[in-house]
Amino acid sequence: MEVQIFGVNKSADTRKALRFFAERRVKTHYVDLTKRAAAPGELRRFAQKFGLSAMIDKGSRRYQDLGLQHSRYSDDHWLGLLAEEPGLLQLPLVRQQQRVTIGLAEAEWQRWIDAD
């Protein structure tokens, strides 16, 4: 089993996800979004399952700083903005084959491990 984790080093939940999989000896591929932006197509996978609004961290400082509270953008514009601004994302984004989660989802990750 191998998982891909999208996150930033400053995010406590990203670090928890990395620790969760390391403790269970699951191979991880970590993508630091501050060094390499996620492709809009990759973000679209998460949006298709959970909806775009679930991916946006409306409580984040970056969301407030950019004044996005009253924004009415198209989904494509939001995906581009999320790719450019990882501070707007609800992190971590975790993918294992076709399975995806947003945020800290240890119970779901454990089900993935138990199923494999």
Q: pTM score, two decimals?
A: 0.89
Closest CA to 91 of 60, 65, 66, 67: 60
Confidence of residue 49 (pLDDT cuts 50, 70, 90): very high
Structural domains counted in the chain? 1
Domain with 28 in it: what CATH number?
3.40.30.10
| pLDDT greater than 80 at residue 70 | no
pLDDT in tens, 7-42: 999 999 999 999 999 999 999 999 999 999 888 888
The alpha carbon of residue 14 and the mean position of all alpha carbons in its chain are separated, in whole angstroms, by 9
- For residue 61, give its domain range: 2-115
* Beta bridge pairs of residue 93: 6, 102
